[in-house]
Amino acid sequence: MTDRRFLTRRAFLIGGATAVAGAGAAAWWAADRFLIPHVEVADVSEAEEAAGTTATDAIATIDEGEQSATSAAAAVSIDTVTTGSGSDTVTYFVASVTLDDPTALRTAFANDQFGENVTQLVSEMAEANGAVFAVNGDYYGFRDTGIQVRNGVAYRDAGAREGLALYRDGHAEIYDETATTAQALVDAGVWTTLSFGPALVKDGAAVDGVDEVEVDTNVGNHSIQGQQPRTAIGVVDATHVVFVVVDGREEGYSRGVTLPELADIMVGLGAQTAYNLDGGGSSEMWFDGAVVNRPSNGGERATSDILYIGGAS
């Protein structure tokens, strides 16, 4: 006679072992997806040197009385703006950058490496690259999609969304990543691409429907809607770029802004083209050795890349 209790218990033990194995596999997947670095280019500086796109030395003069700096190729000035009151207070920082040479606006990767889950503090990347000014980038390393051209070098060719292309001649274009390739963009004169979004401003006007866009909806990503800390780049003309970092999640100081509100800020600054970058705890502006804003994490958050203006090398 078969002992049914034995069969029941054995089935339970097998099921439990399967559950434990499944949990372990899920934990490994999550660690591999979000934590373990996957380096694709181990020495970005060497890749840029081979391509002839390395930075030239630009000694910056810092105005200690104002948040401003000038160099041989660029000038940076930073203003703080506060609107509203009480729980409706919004505080943001505007960096106005004048470029003699559009390629003086450069990007840098965490640890001078390209790949997924390679991260470093904005301040560390800025200091490692002799920057005088920097903001967080698009956190490309959180995902394996999106075209990535940086400082004239093609690093990733996996079109997935609406991107921003900054050209060597200073003009900017919002483009469909899925309709081109990284190398085609380089050949057309693109200096840097950014892959996050959405586009905020086109032809000087705020883009409709930005409050309905979800950039990434895969596991591990969060909605970018609502009132959030934000980082955005805007191109006024070939020699004038503006960066905005909005603080948030701190009542009485800054609630953050919605994407339509951010678009309106960029239009007000004269941006003809503007694009949303990574936000939330990543939003950071750094100048002359110090963090300018108040990141919502209570301090700097490690990220994968920055946009910067070189200072003293």
Q: Where are the domains of the chain?
A: 1-36, 38-310
Contacts 24+ apart (CB under 8 A), 180-184: 180/147, 181/147, 181/157, 182/147, 182/148, 182/149, 182/154, 182/155, 182/156, 182/157, 183/154, 183/157
Residue 13: predicted pLDDT: 43
Q: Smallest Cα–Cα separation from 99: which of 175, 182, 172?
A: 172
105 bridge partner residues: 309
Residue 258: per-residue pLDDT: 96
- Summarize pLDDT for 198-256 with one digit per residue, the tens: 999 999 999 999 988 776 655 444 567 899 999 999 999 999 999 999 999 999 999 99
The pTM for the full model equals 0.86
Give the per-residue pLDDT at 12: 38
Q: Please state, in angstroms and rounded to a whole number, the distance separating the CA atoms of residues 28 and 25.
A: 5
Residues lower than pLDDT 50 in the chain: 1-14, 57, 59, 219-221, 313
Residue 288: what pLDDT?
93
pLDDT for 1: 44
The owner of tokens 């309905």 is: 212
Check residue 225 and give its pLDDT: 85
Predicted local distance difference test score (pLDDT) of residue 60: 53
**Residue 231: is it exposed, middle or buried by C-beta count within 10 angstroms (0-12/13-18/19+)?**
buried
Nearest to 137 by CA among 106, 113, 101, 172: 106
